[in-house]
Amino acid sequence: MKKILLLIGIILLASCNSAKRAQRELSTGNYVKSITIAVSQLQRNKTNRRAQQQMLILEEGFQKLKQRDKKRIKFLQRENVASNSVEIHDLYVRLNEIQNQIRPLLPLQNESQSRQMQFEFLDLDQKIIEARDQMLTYLYDEANLLLNSGDKFSAREAFEDLQRIEQLRPNFKDTRQMLNEAKLMGTDFVLATLINTTDFVIPNRVQNMLLDFNTYGLADQWTDYHTERQQNLDYDYGIRIQFTDFVFSPDRLREREINLEEEVVDGWEYKKDSRGAYVRDEDGNRIKVNNYVTVSGLLLESLQQKSVAVQAQVIYRDIKAGQNINSFPLATEFIFENLSAVFQGDARVLSDEDKEILNNRPVAFPSNEQMLIDAGEDIKQKLKQILVRNKFS
């Protein structure tokens, strides 16, 4: 019962708050917001006490919005500026959408005022069609002007205008062809190359890994990365991944002998006192104690190590200007390490860690090529950090 009362209280509080919010939006001129709140509440319940207040808010909000929008449209039409067609169209569409939200709620009977709510709807279909035609013509002409400017950012604006045309009237005139032109003109094309100025040949596997730009999370509407030059494409920027040094250490083997000694449990016996009598617990049972013995052994550890230090530069270049924009150092080190051991003596002296090492075996040292392959993933992560922090768009 308490839960039901609590739920009812929450619902009433929410309804009260909604009415206050709707009234506040109405009082501050946010008519669309006040209408949205009122419609949402009335869709849930049109008969409770709170609904009576929402009806009044909806009626007043719609009337004031209609008056304001009609006045604004009249002003825009008198101003006779082509770009106004967009706002005129959007105002008509919004007003029509609001009318369509209200219609299913009718009739609305306000018991507190003993009257039916009055909503004078406008027939906007023809006005929307006319406004849409004017807007499409304006957007099309504007997109043409923007494309003819030859500017990338203007081409991107044209692309947005053309997309809206395509959404409202697919395949209007040559919109789709213009969309392709705007996309091509507005895109920054980036050519990424890998340069090796060292005497060491970089494995193909590493090169392919680093030049797989689809894995760097650089997806962008207006930036297109290529790793192979395409004919008849005018590139804007270049990214040069230039390796300047690979330092490989020699194969290193370090061995050390470790003498182990430990006291371990070796069976048990009954505890006796100083007179040789058995010591018993409170229940009369003889007490057992562990026997300890000292065990020892010799652990011969072998540590194999090899490293490669990588030095590179990531150079950003403005291809059209023929100059470098920025350069970022890329450095990393990969260390190969293998620890193994052999043992002589009593195995009870070994710790769990010692036993793990004994499971390892000496392995062949990796070649320099394999070292670079193993370092590849870390090189790629360092490169990704640079690329993500320094996007073109």
Instruction: Report CA torsion sign: 380, 382, 383, 389.
Output: positive
Nearest to 64 by CA among 109, 95, 18, 104: 95
Give me the pLDDT at residue 10, please: 44
* 115 φ/ψ angles, rounded to the nearest 5 degrees: -150, 165
Give me the pLDDT at residue 100, please: 97
Q: How many CB atoms lie within 10 A of CB 126?
A: 8
* Contacts with 393 (C-beta within 8 Å, 6 or more apart), sequence order: 188, 220, 221, 222, 223
Could you read off the pLDDT of 272-314 as tens digits, one per residue?
777 877 778 888 888 888 888 888 999 999 999 999 999 999 9
Could you read off the pLDDT of 35-50 as tens digits, one per residue?
999 999 999 998 888 8
N- to C-terminal Cα distance for the chain? 60
Q: What is the pLDDT averaged over residues 361-386?
A: 96
Q: What mean pLDDT value characterizes the chain?
A: 92
Backbone torsion region of residue 210, taken as left when φ is above 0, otherwise alpha when ψ lies between -120 and 50, otherwise beta: alpha
H/E element holding 59? helix 49-79
Could you read off the pLDDT of 72-97 as tens digits, one per residue?
999 999 999 999 999 999 999 999 99
pTM here is 0.76
Q: What is the pLDDT averaged over residues 218-243?
A: 94
The model's confidence at residue 9, banded by pLDDT at 50, 70 and 90, is very low
